[in-house]
Amino acid sequence: MNYNFLKIEKPEKLEDIGTLFGQGFKVSSSVEKAVDKILKEVEANGDRAILKFCRQFDRFDTKDINEVKVKSKEIELASKKVKKTFPDLVKALEVSYRNIKEYHNAQFKKESGSWTIKPGKGKEVGQILLPLERVGVYIPGGRYIYPSTVLMTVVPAMVAGVKEIVICTPPQPDGNIDQILLYLCGRLKIKEVYKIGGAQAIAVLTYGTESIKKVDKIAGPGNVYVTTAKKKVFGDVGIDSLAGPSDVAILADDSANPDFIAADMISQAEHDPDSRSILLSSSPDMAKKVIEKIYGHLDSLLKEYGNRVNMEIILKSLKKNCKIIFIKEKDRLVEICNMIAPEHLEIMVKDAKKVLRKIKNAGAIFIGGYCPAAVGDYIGGTNHVIPTNGNARFSSPLGAYDFLKRSSVTFYSKDALRKEKKFIEILSEFEKLFAHQNSVRLRFKNIKDIK
């Protein structure tokens, strides 16, 4: 085919970058209204509302709330079938599981645990580190099935010590959950799996119903309805992040392989029509070659995979959101990279480690020509639930730390409190919180004087 939709951009000022890349989580008023309605109904009507929305949105026609929960026998049968039918896939999932678990175990060990210090006589302060008790995981369905997301969300929670992990995922048109997902639920010993998708899944995990117990935190990506619902329920429940369309930025000089860059940009476009693929190149020749290679790879994909590859989505994404940027100065490109704070960042330059030290904002970073983002998506061990929409400026990939909470602990003896009593009195009086002041003074009054 003849393609001609990509061009090289040469932004003169950093301010121009904001025009090239609109950021932020924005939803239409119709989505907002639909999500509000779902959340309110589930909170008010529990099981009845869930069954209504299962019929309406998940196309799962049942009048029995017990049919929404996947039975243990379904998981057992799926596990046996999958092991026989998909032995290579099972082996790949095992390698992925092992790598993810190893990475998050190491991450957990580095996490600051429980500790105390004694800053003075009669004083002891510190923190205790505890796992969350009950976590809800949302696994998207619809266009694709995501067994990798089951591993990426459940394993860190397991490593952190969460005892109750609940999965919600949309059922297939026949009302069943995909066999591979059920196999993984069995492999990870997940006992609660519900055939609920969309905003209604977020609602049931947040508020609970007569039949389904609410959770303490929700993790996992989803569509705009799921993400909007997560945003609205935050505060009633914890959430991991607000997932927007996926993105990749590739920082490359003339030493990079244009075939590799083109292939990685197309693979990013495959996610969603709104996915973003960005090349930040210090070489004009490289930028030109990458455009040529993208066009060439599109034809090659069709020849090799035919209708199995979703070319409609890839082309929509590339035409709308693929940016090829050339700036000669590599430091300037790093500045741009830090400004857009990509979800995935691939560094393909001669002095990769030097450049890495200058990166301030990126979710997941992949170094060298033989480490595409697909490594992190599936097998590398690092997490693929990563901040999008430029949120890497202040957020981190999902990890074991997301399923932990800290409580501060303080002990004062009577002598220690007496020593610092006057400072509490001074501060509380200034803030006009006299009951606070009294709560300290009371402890040093004669018992007979307290009425």
The one-letter amino acid code at 397 reads: P
Residues 18/306, Cβ–Cβ less than 8 Å: no
Among candidate residues 147, 343, 140, the one with its CA nearest the CA of residue 230: 140
CA distances from 255 to 70, 176, 277 (A): 52, 49, 20
CA distances from 201 to 39, 166, 421 (A): 10, 11, 50
Reply yes or no on whether 41 is catalytic: no
* SS3 category, 409: strand
Which one from 104, 270, 271, 343 is the annotated catalytic residue? Answer: 343
Among candidate residues 122, 178, 117, the one with its CA nearest the CA of residue 147: 178
How far apart CA 137 and CA 169 sit, in angstroms, is 9
**Widest Cα–Cα separation across the chain:** 95
Residues 46/209, Cβ–Cβ less than 8 Å: yes
* SS3 category, 27: coil
Which one from 104, 270, 271, 344 is the annotated catalytic residue? Answer: 344
Reply yes or no on whether 329 is catalytic: no
CA dihedral over 411, 417, 421, 425, signed as positive or negative: positive
How far apart CA 277 and CA 397 sit, in angstroms, is 19
Residues annotated as catalytic (active site), given as ranges:
343-344
